[in-house]
A and B are shown apart, each in its own frame.
Chain A
Amino acid sequence: MDFLVFQYPMITVQACLDGILLGVLFALIAYGMALQWGVMNIINIAQGDLVILGGYIAYFMYLYGIHPAWGVIVAPVIMYFVGIAIYKLVINKVVDRDLFISILATFGISILFMQLMNFAFGADVVLANSGYGTTMLFDSNVVLPNSKIFSAFISILFAACLVIYMKKSKLGRAIRATAQNARAAKILGVDTEKVYAATFGINAALCGVAGALISITFTIHPYMGLPYTIRSFMIVIVAGLGNLPGVAMSGMGLGVFEEFADYILGTEFRIGSVFLLLVLILVYRRFKLSRKREYLK
């Protein structure tokens, strides 16, 4: 136990700001998960691995001399098609089966992705340098890397665009209709198969954006996906499905919680504390989130 955080008030400010910036990024990943979960009732264990794959796209751009920030444009485009491909190859075969099968299937995809990335990109930890510098606050007692601010800003931008898209566009309305009642949507002429594929693609694209941001703020490694899956699962559990403000709030809450756990319990318990919190919340909510599954092919 370490109570430095209370002895130095600036550390508290630092922890809160770091947590919020980080939480926004988590929320973006979680939003993709919530969307997919809400529409297709699939819990995607491979979420974190899609994030890492997005990170590698930005990293390779960086290797070839392109600024990695362009990754937030390129990665989602590529990842969208990766998502569609995963849907066509695997998910549409399990989408009408029970939840357990779909969890197993995405778990399998997760392992496959980890090994493929390890095989293709090697086991080295890599990162892309943005060269964005640092913002100093409060007489340089609080430091915020501009890359973190940039990633929070881009996350918010993408989330906002997505909300508008879901409200205004034809596909967005079709996705929302399918989430509410797949059978009714189909009767009214919505091509649910197409909606499912698009949803999966959009989720993968969001993961791509997040991955590109992670490669310029943190580090990426083929086996580092799982913590992102757990975090987004946790955020969705707390916020509920189809509740974007909830996802954003719970994302930031989780970010701040993690930072404080890091300062008080020690860095080694950072991820552990997230797991513990997840268990507590699951017990508290008693799996109330489980919804009736409705599928049409």
Chain B
Amino acid sequence: MRLNKIILSFVSALVILFSTSVVSFAKVVGDKIILGAAISLTGKYSSNGVHTQNGYNMAVDRINSMGGVKVGGKTYKFDIIYYDDESNPKRAAQLAERLISQDGVEFMLGPYSSGLTKAIAPVTEKYGVPMVEANGASRSLFTKGYKYLFAVLAPANLYLDVAIETAVELNGGKPVRIAQAFEQDAFSQDVRLGILDAAERTGSKIIIDDKLPKELNDMAATLVKVKQMKPDVLVVSGHTKGALTAIRQIAEMKVDVPMLAMTHCDAAKLSKQHGKNSQYALCASQWHKSLTYKDDFFKDGMTYAADFEKEFGYDPPYQSAESSAALLVFKDAFERANSFDQKKVRDALAATNMQTFYGNIKFAPGGQNVDKPMVLFQVMCDASGKCENKVVAPLKWASAKLIHPIPKWSER
């Protein structure tokens, strides 16, 4: 009798355990599609982590309020489980494991930065969890043969090669002399590889090739060399600190260079922090609000920017826009797959071919988006000192003409 009681209670305990875990193991609960994301809400990437999260949230609200996702004749709404990866790759990989094996998430959104995406990708790949990421542009992510990784953004090696080509074009098709300084991280080094390719294509020569340290706050040495050797183009990529340091020291040291091309001007709020000193800098961007791509949810870039500002109180950087686009891609793939089977969703993602407010999206076999060119904008200031980023390339979207060469400091 007593034994029976023990067995009974043991069995019922097991039943309770399983029933609760079954609930938490479902990727689609009721009418909710649950996505998982590890994002840097604290630590050194926290500002861009928050931009990413805001982009995701904005798209979730918009898609849900406009009818949600229709799969198998039923309407579902998006929901996201967030964890804070503390800007730490190891933690990000642990959290991906946890999202998949404990929370039962079957579809993932990417973290912020190439480094953290690199840490998470092997985990999602192992479990066959489709991940659409919007903030990992490093080329090495797309050469590993990952089958479940899709990036809505253009790979890092395409960031600045347009600048070199433009410089050659403006030089009458003749090769140019390039000075470059890149931080030693996966992303910046990929940008560098892109420049090397472009230099080879155009026969241009790289005369200064400096590497910048992680704790960069002084690049006077590079700039002194630039001053002495007078290159035609100076390329700098070292995240926000690279952009800020370069502009400060170029202005202070009065370095004259006909073209200055950089990354991360958006995130650095270059024109806000440096005002007129940042004028004429050429910046690579994944997106700009003045681009005329369209979709049904956010209409176009200008409307997106206005709605985003209303909700979060600041102008959206491209990190937010691309994060929002990731949700649009997921919605489209679910509807085309008409299923929640991971394999089918993965195949639907691979076949994506759509336009969003952020740009066209079509994935190469490696997972990178090959249908969206980078844009270059130039910081332009008016007489009152108010500065704005204006798109200058590609010509299709150019809202202003590229000012080249940059006027000398003595003439400004």
Chain A residues packing against B (C-beta within 8 Å): 4, 8, 10-11, 14-15, 18, 22, 115, 118-119, 122-127, 129, 134, 136, 140-141, 143, 145, 147, 214, 218-224, 226-227, 259, 262-263, 266-272
Evaluate contact between B210 and A143: CB separation under 8 angstroms: no
Evaluate contact between A266 and B210: CB separation under 8 angstroms: yes
The count of residues in chain B whose C-beta lies closer than 8 Å to any C-beta of chain A is 41
Instruction: Give the shortest distance, in Å, between A171 (CB) and chain B (any CB).
Output: 35
Evaluate contact between B215 and A271: CB separation under 8 angstroms: yes
Segment at the interface with A among B137-145, B219-227, B295-303, B373-381:
B219-227
Evaluate contact between B212 and A125: CB separation under 8 angstroms: no
Our pick among A18, A141, A268 for the contact of B220 (Cβ within 8 Å) is A18
Segment at the interface with A among B39-47, B350-358, B399-407:
B39-47
Instruction: Give the shortest distance, in Å, between B16 (CB) and chain A (any CB).
Output: 40
Evaluate contact between B46 and A126: CB separation under 8 angstroms: no
Q: Is B228 an interface residue (CB 8 A)?
A: yes
Evaluate contact between B184 and A134: CB separation under 8 angstroms: no
Evaluate contact between A267 and B181: CB separation under 8 angstroms: yes
Q: What residue of chain A has the Cβ atom nearest to residue B220's Cβ?
A: A18
- Cα A18 to Cα B225 in complex, Å, equals 14
- Lowest 6 A-B CB distances belong to which pairs? A145-B252, A268-B211, A218-B217, A125-B241, A262-B221, A143-B253
Chain B residues with CB under 8 A of A268: 184, 210-213
Chain B residues with CB under 8 A of A221: 44, 217, 241
Sample of 22 A–B contacts (CB below 8 Å): A10-B228, A15-B224, A118-B42, A123-B47, A123-B87, A124-B267, A125-B239, A125-B241, A127-B248, A129-B248, A136-B254, A143-B227, A143-B252, A145-B249, A145-B253, A259-B220, A263-B224, A267-B211, A267-B212, A267-B216, A267-B221, A270-B218
Chain B residues with CB under 8 A of A122: 46-47
Instruction: Give the shortest distance, in Å, between A146 (CB) and chain B (any CB).
Output: 8
Chain A residues with CB under 8 A of B218: 22, 218, 270
Evaluate contact between B224 and A11: CB separation under 8 angstroms: yes
Best-surrounded residue of A115, A127, A223, A263 (most CB of chain B within 10 A): A127
Evaluate contact between A4 and B219: CB separation under 8 angstroms: no
Evaluate whether A219 and B42 lie within 8 angstroms (CB atoms) in the complex, with A136-B254, A143-B254 already known: no
Evaluate whether A127 and B244 lie within 8 angstroms (CB atoms) in the complex, with A140-B254, A271-B215 already known: yes
Instruction: Give the shortest distance, in Å, between A139 (CB) and chain B (any CB).
Output: 12
Chain A residues with CB under 8 A of B254: 134, 136, 140, 143
Q: Is B91 an interface residue (CB 8 A)?
A: no
- Cα A222 to Cα B254 in complex, Å, equals 29
Evaluate contact between A118 and B221: CB separation under 8 angstroms: no
Q: Which of B258-273 contact A (CB under 8 A)?
A: 267-268, 273
Please give 19 more A-B residue pairs, beta carbons under 8 A apart, in addition to A123-B47, A134-B254. Answer: A118-B42, A118-B44, A123-B44, A125-B244, A129-B273, A141-B227, A143-B252, A145-B252, A145-B253, A218-B218, A219-B241, A219-B248, A220-B217, A221-B217, A259-B220, A266-B210, A266-B211, A268-B184, A272-B213
Q: Which of B227-243 contact A (CB under 8 A)?
A: 227-228, 239-241
Q: What residue of chain B has the Cβ atom nearest to residue A10's Cβ?
A: B228
Q: Is B245 an interface residue (CB 8 A)?
A: yes
Chain B residues with CB under 8 A of A266: 210-211
- Cα A136 to Cα B253 in complex, Å, equals 9
Our pick among B42, B217, B224 for the contact of A224 (Cβ within 8 Å) is B217
Q: What residue of chain A has the Cβ atom nearest to residue B184's Cβ?
A: A268
Q: Is B274 an interface residue (CB 8 A)?
A: yes
- Cα A119 to Cα B244 in complex, Å, equals 21
Evaluate contact between A123 and B45: CB separation under 8 angstroms: yes
Evaluate contact between A118 and B43: CB separation under 8 angstroms: yes
Instruction: Give the shortest distance, in Å, between A117 (CB) and chain B (any CB).
Output: 11
- Cα A141 to Cα B184 in complex, Å, equals 29
Instruction: Give the shortest distance, in Å, between B351 (CB) and chain A (any CB).
Output: 38
